[in-house]
Amino acid sequence: MTNVQVPNWQDVNAEALFAQIRVAAFDLDGTLARSKKPMLPEMAQALSTMSTILPIAIVSGGIVQLLRSQVTDVLTPEANKANIHLMPTTGTRYYRWQDGDWKIVYKHDLSERDRQVAMDSLRRHAQELGLWPEHSYGPVLEDRGSQITFSALGQQAPVDLKEQWDPTNEHKNELAKLVQQDVPHLEVRSGGSTSVDVSAKGVDKAFAIRELAEELQVPISSILFVGDRMDPDGNDYPAACIGTAAVRVTGPEQTLELCQAYLAWHKRHTQQA
């Protein structure tokens, strides 16, 4: 994988960035919203307005039900859902709005054997490392069909606890490396604030962006990708490495700044035209 330095939003030349993009793609947790929480009204408004201007993609490690509850269910009436692309479970599935509902375009499910081996490996190594919780907030292991996800505190853990659990990503990265040795034919990556994800080899956020570019017939370089996990071990990083206009944010507040700056830029250029 090519090493890239992803610029932080505050260091970006916004005029140059906005002039080159034709599609805007976003990570979800830590980028558009806090973990498992709906977007705030201001973010929902900005994203809804952007969807009337250009295609919007949500590329998340979460399941499609979370993308609905966190994003699409809180969009404003002006949102153009036909212009929104949902790519859950780290891009291993892809949904479009058709005939009044979100319809699946593709899915890359793991075999039953691979799912079981991945779950056994995650459980064993998490216990060995002392990462398996004595008491959890919901499931610690989740079989999402196309992705197996370990959540160190449980899927429904409070956001504050999740964000405090592994701020340096040290624990998640160590667990991911050990599991990867057990399943070399699969992809193991550090996911959200407390998660490690296992999916098919090569099916990650880079794969999702390539599929999106082909679907929309646009160059990858014209796709803006916004995420908070842009470190080499982060699950947003592969999307940056394939040549997107990638931007790192520290949280939803910065993403809102970016979106509002884009809308202001678009309005100015529309008026000038």
Spot the catalytic one: 11, 29, 114, 231. Answer: 29
pLDDT at position 271: 81
Q: Of 56, 61, 35, which is closest to residue 44 (Cα–Cα)? A: 56
Instruction: Read off the pLDDT band of 273 (50, 70, 90).
Output: low
Res 1 pLDDT > 60: no
Q: How far apart are the first and last CA of the chain?
A: 41
Instruction: Read off the pLDDT band of 2 (50, 70, 90).
Output: low
- Give the residue numbers of the binding site for Mg(2+): 27, 29, 228, 244
- Give the residue numbers of the binding site for alpha-D-mannose 1-phosphate: 144, 195, 197
pTM score of the predicted model: 0.88
Q: What is the mean pLDDT of the chain?
A: 95
Spot the catalytic one: 27, 166, 204, 236. Answer: 27
Q: Concatenated DSSP letters for 38-77?
A: PPPHHHHHHHHHHTTTS-EEEE-SS-HHHHHHHTGGG--T
- List, in order of start, the domains of the chain with CATH numbers: 9-107+203-272 (3.40.50.1000), 112-200 (3.30.1240.20)
pLDDT in tens, 69-119: 999 999 999 999 999 999 999 888 999 999 999 999 999 999 999 999 999
Active site residue 27: yes
pLDDT in tens, 201-232: 988 899 999 999 999 999 999 999 999 999 88
Active site residue 29: yes
Res 187 pLDDT > 70: yes
pLDDT in tens, 129-185: 999 999 999 999 999 999 999 999 998 899 899 989 998 989 999 999 999 999 999
Cross-strand pairs, 198: 148, 188
Q: Let me know if 188 is exposed, middle or buried by CB neighbors in 10 A (0-12, 13-18, 19+).
A: buried
Give CA separation, 6 vs 34, 57, 114, 170, in Å.
Answer: 21, 19, 33, 20
